[in-house]
Amino acid sequence: MKPVGEKLMLRDSVIRTFIQAAVFVLVVSGMAGCGETPPDTTEPALASIDGGLISVADFENRVAEIMERATVSGLGCVILNDGHIVYNKTFGFRDMETGVALDDGSVFNAASFSKTVFAYLVVLLAEDGLIDLDRPIHEYLGKPIPEYDNYSDLAGDDRWREITARMLLSHSAGFQNWRILTEDQRLGFIFDPGTRFSYSGEGIQLLQMVVEEISGKDLESLAREKIFAPLGMSDSSFVWQPSYESAFALPHNEFGWAGNPKRRSTPAAAGSMSTTVVDYGRLLVAVMAREGRPEHGDLAMTETVVPVTSERMLGPGAQRDGDSGDGVSISWGLGWGLFDCPLGRAFFHTGHDLGEQNYTVSFLDRRIGVALFSNSDNFESVAEEIVGAAIGDIYTPFTWLGYEPFDPAMRRTPPPRPDRVEVTADVLEPYAGKYGISDTETFWIRAEGTRLLYSGEGEYWDEIIAESTTRFRFRGQDVVLVFVSGPAGRVLRIDIDYQGLPLSATRIE
Q: What are phi and psi of 484, to 5 degrees?
A: -115, 120
pLDDT at 7 over 90: no
Contact call for residues 310 and 197 (beta carbons, < 8 A): yes
Contact call for residues 384 and 403 (beta carbons, < 8 A): yes
Band (pLDDT 50/70/90 cuts) for residue 213 is very high
Instruction: Please report, for residues 168, 228, 416, the alpha-carbon distance to residue 220 in angstroms, rounded to integers and kept in the order given.
Output: 20, 10, 41
pLDDT attached to residue 6: 38
Contact call for residues 318 and 115 (beta carbons, < 8 A): no
Band (pLDDT 50/70/90 cuts) for residue 97 is very high
The mean per-residue pLDDT over the stretch 14-31 comes to 33
Instruction: Please report, for residues 358, 493, 504, the alpha-carbon distance to residue 474 in angstroms, rounded to integers and kept in the order given.
Output: 22, 18, 16
SS3 14: helix
pLDDT at 499 over 90: no
The model carries a pTM of: 0.90
SS3 381: helix
The mean per-residue pLDDT over the stretch 239-261 comes to 97
pLDDT at 8 over 60: no
pLDDT attached to residue 453: 97
DSSP state at residue 418: P
Please state which of the ranges 39-48, 83-92, 218-227, 239-248 shows the lowest mean pLDDT.
Answer: 39-48
Give the chain's largest Cα–Cα span. Answer: 96
Share the mean pLDDT of the chain: 91
DSSP state at residue 268: -
pLDDT at 124 over 80: yes
CA dihedral defined by 266, 121, 108, 291, rounded to 10 degrees? -170
pLDDT attached to residue 417: 87
Query: What amino acid is encoded at 152 in this protein?
Result: S
Q: Which residue has the higher pLDDT, 425 or 2?
A: 425
DSSP state at residue 61: H
pLDDT attached to residue 37: 46
Residues 6+ apart with CB under 8 A from 104: 88, 89, 90, 276, 278
DSSP H or E run through 257: none
pLDDT attached to residue 419: 86
Instruction: Please report, for residues 93, 109, 114, 216, 247, the alpha-carbon distance to residue 74 in angstroms, rounded to integers and kept in the order given.
Output: 5, 12, 20, 39, 13
The mean per-residue pLDDT over the stretch 377-405 comes to 98
Distance CA(438)–CA(180), nearest Å, equals 7
Among 289, 282, 264, 288, which residue's Cα sits nearest to residue 274?
A: 264
For 164-211, how does the pLDDT look when each residue is reduced to its tens digit (9 = 90+)?
Answer: 999 999 999 999 999 998 888 899 999 999 999 999 999 999 999 999
pLDDT attached to residue 488: 82
The full DSSP string for 185-222 is ----BSS-TTSS----HHHHHHHHHHHHHHHSS-HHHH
Residues 6+ apart with CB under 8 A from 481: 454, 464, 471, 472, 473, 494, 495, 496
Band (pLDDT 50/70/90 cuts) for residue 2 is very low
Band (pLDDT 50/70/90 cuts) for residue 15 is very low
pLDDT at 319 over 80: yes
Distance from the first to the final alpha carbon of the chain? 49
Contact call for residues 288 and 364 (beta carbons, < 8 A): yes
The mean per-residue pLDDT over the stretch 489-503 comes to 91
pLDDT at 34 over 60: no
pLDDT attached to residue 122: 98
Please state which of the ranges 17-31, 72-86, 157-171, 248-262 shows the lowest mean pLDDT.
Answer: 17-31
Residue 378 half-sphere exposure toward CB, CA atoms < 13 A:
23
pLDDT at 20 over 50: no
- Domains (ranges, CATH) in the chain? 62-379 (3.40.710.10), 425-507 (2.40.128)
